[in-house]
């Protein structure tokens, strides 16, 4: 009987203890919800860029070839140096051409002397015909001889000019300003006017061309976006260059032209960029990468790459925090990378909170405590949950920030 009374007295006490324990466990369970960092997607203007491979090519290329035949007497430049237009590069043996020039000048002098005599005779005949001292036929002959002598002077003058040009060709000069390469001939070599091999090559490297290739399918996709109004065309945006070792090039280039034909072998078309090269850092044949701007999306969505995962089949997905602060998995379509972010083409909308940190501790359907990712220079703040936070929530959030 006494034991029975004891049990009756202990039962209310036990009920009070259980109720107290349940009251303490509720905040503890709420505090155990994992903390995650989210990014709230916002529509923004996004410049669509594409990094394309390319090779550098000289702005102007001039191959130096002889225009007359002769023996190389002297090389007048230093290989690899800068030369200017008109600067002598080679001197050929010009003895024969100089002799021809002197001979042509002598013939010109003789023709001019004969023309003086013919002119005197013609003027004399003009005076004598007035007094009937000579016949009409003699006057006609005198006039014809004068014209013939003047024609001979013209032929002699042309011969002088021709031999002078050949004499000047014996001294080979640079056709353009630029940097000259190595010489393919040495002193004593015989060069001919019709040879195919150049003596040297002069290249103008400032500015310099960067020739790029791009897939024709990307061009079709871009044109569809422009025609649909989803994007607008960009004009005058500089082209940035990356060197082969990944170093950014100091000077930005400008798109010069886009080819009008597609290479049937590769399915790509060519673009050409003009890039300043005052320090001659870029040399012809170097491999570079160029970031070309194509269009601007007025309302594009960007999501950090670490917030998007792919399954074994390559399908992309993201975990988002919904309005009830629980995790939800979304299938995502992304089109391209822009920096360290994906450009979203489907599956996410403006205002979605994408989880970018804490992914290892969560799964779909789990309640979480979301904290907005910090903007540079601004400390991170807990995202709005729509419900008042309890003391246990504050302590959990504070503990997360201290970590």
Q: Which of residues 197, 215, 234 is at a domain's end?
A: 197
- Domain shared by 304 and 347, yes or no: yes
Which of residues 349 and 133 earns the better pLDDT score?
349
Average pLDDT over residues 231-250: 83
- Domain shared by 85 and 178, yes or no: yes
Q: What is the span of the domain harbouring residue 177?
A: 68-93+170-197
Of these ranges, 24-38, 41-55, 219-233, 305-319, the one predicted with the greatest mean pLDDT is: 305-319
For 10-27, the pLDDT digits (tens) are: 444 545 444 444 444 444
CATH number of the CATH domain containing 283: 2.40.30.170
- Domain shared by 191 and 268, yes or no: no
- Count of domains for the chain: 4
pLDDT of residue 385: 41
Which of residues 375 and 131 earns the better pLDDT score?
131
pLDDT of residue 82: 92
Q: Would 120 be classed as within a structural domain?
A: yes
Q: Would 9 be classed as within a structural domain?
A: no
CATH number of the CATH domain containing 393: 2.40.420.20
pLDDT band at 375 (very low <50, low <70, confident <90, very high): low
Could you write out the three-class secondary structure of the chain? CHHHHHHHHHHHHHHHHHHHHHHHHHHHHHHCCCEEEEEECCCEEEEEEEEEEEEEEEEEEEEECCCCCEEEEEECCCCCCEECCCCEEEEECCHHHHHHHHHHHHHHHHHHHHHHHHHHHHHHHHHHHHHCCCCHHHHHHHHHHHHHHHHHHHHHHHHHHHHHHHHHHCEEECCCCEEECCCCCCCCCEECCCCCCCCEEEEEEEEEEEEEEEEHHHHHHHHHHHHHCCEEECCCCCEEEECCCCCECCCCEEEEEECCCCECCCCEEEEEEEECCCCCCCCCCCEEEEEEEEEEEEEEEEEEHHHEEECCCCCEEEEEECCCCEEEEEECEEEEEECCEEEEEECCCCCCEEEEECHHHCCCCCECEEEECCCCCCCCCECCCCCCCCHHHHHHHHHHHHC
**pTM for this model (two decimals):** 0.65
pLDDT of residue 194: 83
Q: Would 127 be classed as within a structural domain?
A: yes
- Domain shared by 331 and 341, yes or no: yes
pLDDT band at 231 (very low <50, low <70, confident <90, very high): low
Average pLDDT over residues 190-213: 93
């Amino acid at each position: 009987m006494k034991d029975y009374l004891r049990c009756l007295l202990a039962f209310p006490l036990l009920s009070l203890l259980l109720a107290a324990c349940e009251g303490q466990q509720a905040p503890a369970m709420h505090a155990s919800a994992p903390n995650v960092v989210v990014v709230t997607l916002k529509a923004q203007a996004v410049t669509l860029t594409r990094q394309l491979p390319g090779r550098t090519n000289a702005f102007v290329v001039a191959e130096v070839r002889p225009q007359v035949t002769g023996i190389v007497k002297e090389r007048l430049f230093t290989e690899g140096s800068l030369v200017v237009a008109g600067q002598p590069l080679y001197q050929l043996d010009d003895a024969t051409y100089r002799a021809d020039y002197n001979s042509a000048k002598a013939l010109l002098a003789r023709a001019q002397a004969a023309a003086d005599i013919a002119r005197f005779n013609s003027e004399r005949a003009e005076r004598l015909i007035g007094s009937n001292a000579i016949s009409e036929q003699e006057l006609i002959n005198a006039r014809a001889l004068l014209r013939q002598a003047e024609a001979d002077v013209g032929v002699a003058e042309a011969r002088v000019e021709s031999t002078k040009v050949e004499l000047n060709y014996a001294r080979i000069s640079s056709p353009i300003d630029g940097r000259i390469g190595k010489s393919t001939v040495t002193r004593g070599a015989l060069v001919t006017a019709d040879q195919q091999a150049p003596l040297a090559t002069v290249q103008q490297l400032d500015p310099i061309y960067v020739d790029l290739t791009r897939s024709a399918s990307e061009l079709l996709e871009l044109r569809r976006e422009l025609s649909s109004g989803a994007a607008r065309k960009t004009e005058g945006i500089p082209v940035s260059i990356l060197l082969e070792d990944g170093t950014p090039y100091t000077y930005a280039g400008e798109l010069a032209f886009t080819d009008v034909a597609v290479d049937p072998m590769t399915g790509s078309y060519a673009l050409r960029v003009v890039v300043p090269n005052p320090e001659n850092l870029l040399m012809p044949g170097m491999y570079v990468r160029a970031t070309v701007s194509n269009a601007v999306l007025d309302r594009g969505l960007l999501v950090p790459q670490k917030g998007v995962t792919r399954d074994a089949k390559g399908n992309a997905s993201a975990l988002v925090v919904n309005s009830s602060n629980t995790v939800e998995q979304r299938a995502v379509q992304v089109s391209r990378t822009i920096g360290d972010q994906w450009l979203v083409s489907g599956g996410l909308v403006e205002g979605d909170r994408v989880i970018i940190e804490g992914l290892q501790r969560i799964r779909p359907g789990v309640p979480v405590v979301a904290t907005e990712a910090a903007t540079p220079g601004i400390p991170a703040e807990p995202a709005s949950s729509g419900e008042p936070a309890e003391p246990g929530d504050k302590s959990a959030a504070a503990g997360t920030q201290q970590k």
